[in-house]
């Protein structure tokens, strides 16, 4: 089978290569999936660069999620059948950037694809949509009337969180770095948008919350902006850090944390999946049943065959995209 593989950490465009590997076979409790679509996520590229939370034994095939069809079922597998469309997540015996992958038939690794989703939407069901759902529903338990401030408001996760807020009833304050992204969000109907390049982040958060501060915060950027978000939390506010786009450390006001009983914690989907598989499976089922699920997940902006991975990665790393870049074939 064709697959993308790397034998050293570094620039994905330089370290990845298209190789021919033996087609895997499912063992007991496993299924063989013929992959149809795989999104290129920042986490995939962090792994190839050696900057991810866990690193594979090399040579390795990258890819944390995707959608495909079951081609073979191993012994002792129940609940899955040949021809079924499924979503893969946290593949432990090879990533999704190959034509075939073997996956353990367990809820934390394999999910039935919701009928409401296209193949390309289902391929990106876990890393972004499920992260957004777990953060706002499981970790923060946001309720109608709550105020959530988030960085990277124009990102895929940011847009998902805003849409979930509209459906559930909590308010979102969305921080972006560039004025054109702020205009784009406002034009799409997002009410509360702050541009960190031109606005005072702390002041704007306090104005929009009538001086009370935000109930909770989601940060994917880090650096000084995250400092101001944490400072704008109301007493007993919570902040989840789930990304490091700026590549900078964040300074926090310890007196505010102490006297306001605020908390700051990290969120990493892989750890959440590993530590509480039952919660993962439950949340996946809840999200799959969410009204208007198809409207939450954007379609693909572009599709590239596995052989065209270099061009696909360059496209995925451009700013201002409207959807995921998919690897097909």
10, pLDDT greater than 80 = yes
Q: How far apart are CA 309 and CA 328, in angstroms?
A: 10
pLDDT classification of 285: cutoffs 50, 70, 90: confident
The more confident residue out of 294 and 85 is 85
pTM: 0.88
What integer pLDDT is reported at residue 255 of this predicted model? Answer: 84
What integer pLDDT is reported at residue 281 of this predicted model? Answer: 78
Give the active site residue among 46, 52, 202, 242: 52
DSSP string, 112-174: EPPTTS-HHHHHTTIIIIIHHHIIIIIIS---TT-EEEESSTTSHHHHHHHHHHHHHT-EEEE
pLDDT digits (tens, 9 = 90+) for 37-94: 999 998 899 999 998 888 889 999 999 999 999 999 999 999 999 999 999 986 555 7
Which of 296-315 are b and which e, b meaning 16 or more Cβ less than 10 Å from the residue's Cβ?
Answer: bbbebeeebebeebeebbee
User: How far is Cα of residue 200 from the mean position of the Cα atoms in its chain?
Assistant: 28
* Mean pLDDT value across residues 226-255: 89
Query: Which domains can be identified in the chain, with CATH numbers?
Result: 2-125+297-328 (3.90.180.10), 128-270 (3.40.50.720)
The more confident residue out of 215 and 55 is 215
What integer pLDDT is reported at residue 92 of this predicted model? Answer: 53
Is 52 among the catalytic positions? yes
316: CB partners within 8 A, 6+ apart: 40, 45, 324, 325
What integer pLDDT is reported at residue 329 of this predicted model? Answer: 93
pLDDT classification of 246: cutoffs 50, 70, 90: confident
What integer pLDDT is reported at residue 74 of this predicted model? Answer: 96
* Mean pLDDT value across residues 8-33: 95
The more confident residue out of 13 and 214 is 214
What integer pLDDT is reported at residue 274 of this predicted model? Answer: 78
150, pLDDT greater than 60 = yes
Q: How far apart are CA 39 and CA 64, in angstroms?
A: 9
Distances (CA, A) of 327 to 5, 35, 62, 99, 304: 14, 10, 12, 10, 5
pLDDT digits (tens, 9 = 90+) for 216-231: 999 999 888 899 999 9
* Mean pLDDT value across residues 106-122: 91
pLDDT classification of 107: cutoffs 50, 70, 90: confident
Percent of the chain with pLDDT over 70: 99
């Amino acid at each position: 089978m064709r697959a993308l593989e790397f034998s050293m950490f570094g620039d994905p465009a330089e370290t990845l290569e298209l190789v021919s590997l033996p087609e895997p076979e499912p063992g007991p409790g496993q299924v063989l999936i013929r992959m149809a679509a795989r999104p290129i996520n920042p986490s995939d590229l962090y792994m190839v660069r050696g900057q991810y939370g866990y690193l594979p034994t090399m040579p390795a095939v990258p890819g944390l999620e995707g959608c495909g069809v079951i081609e073979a079922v191993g012994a002792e597998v129940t609940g899955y059948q040949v021809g079924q469309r499924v979503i893969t997540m946290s593949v432990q015996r090879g990533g999704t950037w190959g034509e075939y992958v073997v996956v353990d038939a367990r809820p934390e690794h394999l999910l039935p694809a919701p009928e409401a989703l296209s193949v390309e939407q289902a391929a990106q069901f876990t890393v972004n949509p499920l992260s957004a759902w777990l953060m706002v529903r499981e970790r923060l338990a946001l309720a109608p009337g709550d105020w959530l401030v988030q960085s990277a408001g124009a990102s895929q996760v940011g847009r998902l969180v805003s849409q979930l807020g509209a459906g559930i009833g909590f308010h979102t304050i969305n921080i972006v770095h560039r004025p054109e992204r702020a205009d784009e969000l406002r034009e799409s109907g997002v009410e509360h948008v702050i541009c960190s390049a031109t606005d005072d982040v702390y002041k704007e958060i306090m104005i929009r919350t009538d001086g009370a501060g935000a109930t909770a915060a989601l940060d994917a950027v880090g650096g000084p902006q995250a400092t101001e978000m944490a400072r704008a939390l109301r007493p007993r506010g919570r902040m989840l850090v789930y990304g490091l786009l700026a590549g900078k450390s964040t300074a926090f006001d310890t007196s505010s944390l102490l006297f306001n009983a605020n908390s700051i914690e990290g969120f990493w989907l892989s750890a959440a999946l590993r530590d509480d598989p039952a919660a993962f499976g439950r949340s996946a089922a809840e999200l799959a049943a969410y009204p208007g699920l198809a409207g939450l997940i954007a379609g693909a902006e572009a599709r590239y065959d596995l052989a065209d991975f270099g061009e696909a990665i360059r496209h995925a790393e451009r700013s201002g995209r409207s959807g995921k870049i998919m690897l097909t074939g």
